[in-house]
A = this chain, B = another copy of it.
Amino acid sequence: MSTPTGPRRRADAVRNRQLALEAATALLSEPGASLTVEAIAKRVGLGAATVVRAFGGKDALLDAAVSGLLEPLVRRARDLLAETTPTRALHVFLRELLAFQTAHHGVNDQLGGLDLPATTALRADLVRAVEEMIDGARREGTVRTDLDPGVTTTLIGQTALAVARAQPPSQELADAYLTVLLDGLRPPSAP
């Protein structure tokens, strides 16, 4: 496929687009951030119009920002699945997922009414990867099989969201979640 030659893009516009993306990404990790276009613009000394235009709308900007955060996480999940046993992948990944949610508190908070296609797709990838881990772990006998696999996945996802919503989010709380979740997911009579 050939890169379609659109109208010329000026270097400063490209740089401003990058600045806006970084500002949005930074705000996503701050608990009380307002996440308005003006707030994002002010953070890098741009006008609101410039920020919006660079992405064609606020939704697209946030979609890009969230996707940028999610992408490495999805890659990590896939890598773990390839490198190690499902059980170990599940344990390691859950720890990292909860740490991610603790660090990027705002990622799932104010995003309710927005249309974020790339983010939605990445989330689906994440769910698929976790399902694979659970499926494998069940086969290995380290995860209980008396629950529906899909329900188990949802449970894990919602648990991750819950960590992000705690006030304040703390690593201690995330650790407690992980401990309880993993113990609760074990087969009722396993070591």
Contacts and interface: CB of A to CB of B under 8 A. Distances in A.
Nearest to A170: B151
A120 interface: no
B173 A180 contact: no
A182 interface: yes
A151 B165 contact: no
A188 B158 CA distance: 24
Nearest to A180: B184
A172 interface: yes
A178 B116 CA distance: 32
Contact of A148 (B146, B148, B155, B172): B172
Contact of A183 (B159, B166, B184): B184
A50 interface: no
A152 B183 CA distance: 14
A146 B146 CA distance: 27
Contacts of A162: 158-159, 161-162
A1 interface: no
Contact of A161 (B146, B165, B182): B165
